[in-house]
Amino acid sequence: MNAPLHRLAEVAADPDAYVVAWKQSHPGRKVAGVLPMNFPEELLHAAGFLPVVIQENRDPDSDGRVILAEFYCGYTRNLADQAAKGKLDIYDTYFVADHCVQLLGAADVMRFKAPGTPIYFGQFIASMSEESTARKVRNEMEHIVGEVERGAGTPIDRERLAESIRLYNTDRRLLRMIFDARREGRIHLSGAQMQDLVKSSMVMDKAEHVALLEQLLTEGIAAGGSQARVKLHLSGHFCHAPKQELLDLIEDCGAMIVDDDLYHGRRYITTDVREDLDPIEALSTWYFDRNVNVPCPTRVQHDADWDTYLSNAVSESGADGVIVLMAKFCEPHMLLYPELRKMMDERDTPYLLIETEHEGLPMETIRTRIEALVERISRKATVAAAL
């Protein structure tokens, strides 16, 4: 593994260590913990914070296990556990801009367990096609700007915000270059390595991340993997990273991940903030554009839906099948899944649903299911070629 990849993997594996080290090397600066998935981090960056999307950790839930009900998703229960164990004390403040009930439950636990740490809320409207939506989003963005300024104790300089937007756009553009190259088979990085690229972006200082990506692209990435492998698209997981052993397992079963719509994947990097608009207006527009580029089941939009997006993405990448990674008890995903399934049945795309949890995935059973999907696709292709 080359040096930039190694460093990005290191940060992705232990975000807390990066945060602690960053604070030591930046005395007087604050770290803002952000909950997924629509908070405009550029605002925090421009206000002088290090914005960090708080990640699920690897520890078994213990102290916080009883705080949230069993039917909360693994990510939110793990956030509660981290809060109960004091693991989130490394953050100076928290910001939330989404209305997922489970995520708000985790935010409540964070507030309860660390009453001295300010937590700021916004709530973007989920109904994207109403006449009033644009105005409401703009108003909410103004509200969030106010909250960030309140947290920072100083107004956000518009020119600095424009610079932050340019920096974040650069990071997203570089990441998209790598994702596009993978989709087109020009490079080969494992699913875990691709996740490292995005996860580290959610944690690191953006300028540092951009520098590492540029170094990685300059040094070059190994050429495409075996074309004989079954090509799969990974779909789902809106808030937290799928476990890397699961990604490794998929590849170990003879598949090659060619594209995804994961939050720790294309969903996070797909949309740039327009640089030709007033920055606040541009961030409001970004909120709409994101849901067009990779639609989210938590949003309702008449002219954009996830199933159509997924169908197009599979066509574009030439994926032979889809693995849907669904966080157990993720209600928006559970509710939309029948639509995805219907679409995949209609286009005769083989698919597999894997329900994930924070602890205790039955890996050998999952291996059998993934291998069966791979065998199903490859045997059908072989027979079709012979007929």
Partner 1 sequence: MHTMGVDLGSTTAKAVIVDGTGAIVAHRVVQMGAVSRRGVTAAIEDVLRESGVERGDLGVVIATGYGRRLVPDATRTFTEITCHARGVAAMSPGTSLVIDIGGQDSKAIRIDSLGLVDDFAMNDRCASGTGRFFDVLARALECRLEDLDDLALAGSDDLEVSSMCATFAETEIISLLAEGSVPADIAASVHRAVAARTLGLVAQVGRANPVVMTGGVAHSRAAVHFLAKALGTEVSVPREPQITGAYGAALLGLESLQGETTVIGHAVEREHRHTGQLANGHDCTTCSLGQAKYQPIDVELWTASVAADRRP
Is the CB of 70 or the CB of 131 nearer to partner 1? 70
Is the CB of 303 or the CB of 364 nearer to partner 1? 364
Is the CB of 308 or the CB of 382 nearer to partner 1? 382
Rule CB under 8 A: which of 315-374 touch partner 1? 355, 362, 364-365, 368-369, 371-372
Residue 69 binds partner 1 (CB under 8 A) = no
Is the CB of 173 or the CB of 379 nearer to partner 1? 379
Please calculate the CA angle 379-384-387 and round it to the nearest 5 degrees: 125
Least distance to partner 1 from the beta carbon of 315, Å? 21
**What is the crossing angle of helices 331-346 and 306-317, to 10°?**
50
Q: In sequence order, what are the beta bridge partners of 50?
A: 31
Angstrom distance (rounded) from CA 54 to CA 154: 24
Is the CB of 129 or the CB of 368 nearer to partner 1? 368
Enumerate the H helices of the chain as residue ranges: 3-13, 15-25, 41-46, 74-84, 101-113, 133-152, 158-183, 191-203, 206-219, 244-252, 266-269, 279-293, 306-317, 331-346, 363-386
Rule CB under 8 A: which of 129-148 touch partner 1? none
Least distance to partner 1 from the beta carbon of 380, Å? 5
Starting at the edge strand that comes first in sequence, how are the strands of the sheet with 119-121 ordered? 50-53, 31-34, 93-96, 119-121
Least distance to partner 1 from the beta carbon of 313, Å? 22
Residue 383 binds partner 1 (CB under 8 A) = yes
Least distance to partner 1 from the beta carbon of 139, Å? 45
DSSP string, 252-303: HTTEEEEEE--TTTHHHHS-PPPSSS-HHHHHHHHHHHHHHHS--TTSB-TT
Residue 382 binds partner 1 (CB under 8 A) = yes
Is the CB of 106 or the CB of 322 nearer to partner 1? 322
Pick the binder of partner 1 from 157, 248, 346, 375 (CB under 8 A): 375
Handedness of CA 351, 357, 361, 365 (dihedral sign): negative
Least distance to partner 1 from the beta carbon of 374, Å? 9
Residues that bind partner 1 (CB under 8 A): 355, 362, 364-365, 368-369, 371-372, 375-376, 379-380, 382-383, 386-387
